[in-house]
């Protein structure tokens, strides 16, 4: 029995090592954390329960039979954030570049199905280059299964994606279907296909940043709902967002004990709106002074700035805020701000979050 336990522990250690020390060092050199380090930061200490740690791919072509690593490039399971259950998967770039095989896809689909069955949010940490080319259609079929689960879960459980490395193909299609997408500045990219393919097909020279960096998606396209300085800040902010959200559409958002007196006097609000209607003012100042403890989680702060969307609390209960921003385009609606607000209102509607419109 002792030998069996020792062998089990040896195999666990191998699985936890992912692609090995050299690749982990390369990941750290780029300013990125490994898949397991990210989960340690995201989840409450000691709460992570892993699924399918020893799963390996079943491909035999192109020498793949000799290249097998336990876990197959993705870490899946569940844990808690401030005591509330969430399901997670984290792509491991050190194993085959985090690329998706059929076995890899089955692990993700399993955790998606469990999240839907239990009624808990699912958070995906993406750092991968799309389908595993050695598996061809099998890998692509795996993406189809993942997309189906994304659509089935839409409006039922919150789905959050964090882009933490260069992601292409299916690893950006799936996040695009989810409720919220966040990026990490200068280390994460989202594109249908990378600069090399663009160069081959169109003979156009384009950098990773120009093609799919955070400036493109958080400022111009609106695909990303925010961008953060590094992995640590991104995961900390995702923890903060989860605190505002219900576990599913069958539950109410959590109510936090409130220490902010609703009867307090805020004299500065008397002079916030200028007497001259042609002068702009900052609507965010009003929001921060009205909500509990000036705690406001803004969605897409750098995109369509003429409208403000985000989560806050009043009397300890979560609310959604939609507000015109007079400082930008006099707060008028254009197509970008309309889309931004509509997406946010739709999410709040699905999860019974009250809206305050300013």
CA distance 27 to 106: 25
pLDDT at 311: 97
3-class SS at 121?
Answer: coil
> Does residue 39 come out as left (phi exceeding 0), alpha (psi in the -120 to 50 range) or beta?
alpha
User: CATH 3.90.226.10 spans which residues of the chain?
Assistant: 2-244, 267-357
pLDDT at 231: 93
* DSSP at 218: I
**What CATH class is the domain 267-357?**
alpha beta
CA distance 234 to 56: 30
CATH architecture classification, 2-244:
Alpha-Beta Complex (3.90)
Strand pairing report for 317-324 and 355-357: parallel
One digit per residue, the tens of pLDDT, for the chain of length 358 reads 888 888 778 777 777 777 778 888 888 888 899 999 999 999 999 999 989 877 776 766 666 667 777 777 899 999 999 999 999 999 988 887 778 888 899 999 999 999 999 999 999 999 987 777 777 787 788 889 999 999 999 999 999 999 998 898 888 999 999 999 999 998 899 988 888 888 899 888 888 888 888 999 989 989 999 999 999 999 999 999 999 999 999 999 999 888 888 888 888 888 888 888 888 888 999 999 999 998 999 999 999 999 999 999 999 999 999 999 999 988 889 999 999 999 999 999 999 999 999 9
């Amino acid at each position: 029995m002792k030998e069996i336990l020792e062998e089990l522990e040896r195999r666990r250690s191998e699985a936890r090592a992912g692609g090995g020390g050299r690749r982990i060092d390369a990941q750290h050199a780029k300013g990125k954390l490994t898949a397991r380090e990210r989960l340690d930061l995201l989840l409450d200490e000691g709460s992570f329960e892993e699924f399918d740690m020893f799963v390996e791919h079943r491909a035999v072509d192109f020498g793949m039979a000799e290249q097998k690593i336990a876990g197959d490039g993705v870490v899946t399971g569940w844990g808690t954030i401030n005591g509330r259950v969430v399901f997670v998967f984290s792509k491991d770039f050190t194993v085959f570049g985090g690329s998706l095989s059929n076995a890899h896809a089955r692990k993700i689909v399993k955790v998606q199905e469990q999240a839907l069955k239990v009624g808990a949010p699912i958070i995906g940490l993406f750092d991968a280059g799309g389908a595993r080319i050695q598996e061809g259609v099998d890998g692509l079929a795996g993406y189809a299964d993942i997309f189906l689960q994304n659509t089935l879960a839409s409006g039922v459980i919150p789905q959050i994606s964090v882009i933490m490395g260069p992601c292409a193909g299916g690893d950006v299609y799936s996040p695009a279907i989810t409720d919220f997408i966040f990026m990490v500045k200068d280390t994460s990219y989202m594109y249908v296909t990378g600069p090399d393919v663009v160069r081959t097909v169109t003979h156009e020279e384009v950098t990773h940043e120009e093609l799919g960096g955070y400036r493109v998606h958080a400022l111009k396209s609106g695909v990303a709902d925010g961008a953060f300085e590094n992995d640590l800040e991104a995961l900390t902010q995702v923890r903060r967002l989860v605190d505002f959200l219900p576990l599913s559409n069958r539950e109410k958002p959590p109510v936090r004990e409130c220490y902010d007196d609703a009867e307090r006097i805020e004299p500065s609000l008397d002079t916030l709106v200028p007497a001259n209607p042609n002068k702009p003012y900052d609507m965010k100042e009003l929001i921060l002074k009205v909500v509990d403890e000036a705690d406001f989680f803004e969605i897409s702060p750098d995109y369509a700035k003429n409208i403000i969307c985000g989560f806050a609390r009043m009397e300890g209960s979560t609310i959604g805020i939609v507000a015109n921003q007079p400082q930008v385009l006099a707060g008028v609606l254009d197509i970008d701000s309309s889309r931004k607000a509509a997406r946010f209102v739709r999410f709040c509607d699905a999860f019974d979050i009250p809206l305050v419109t300013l």
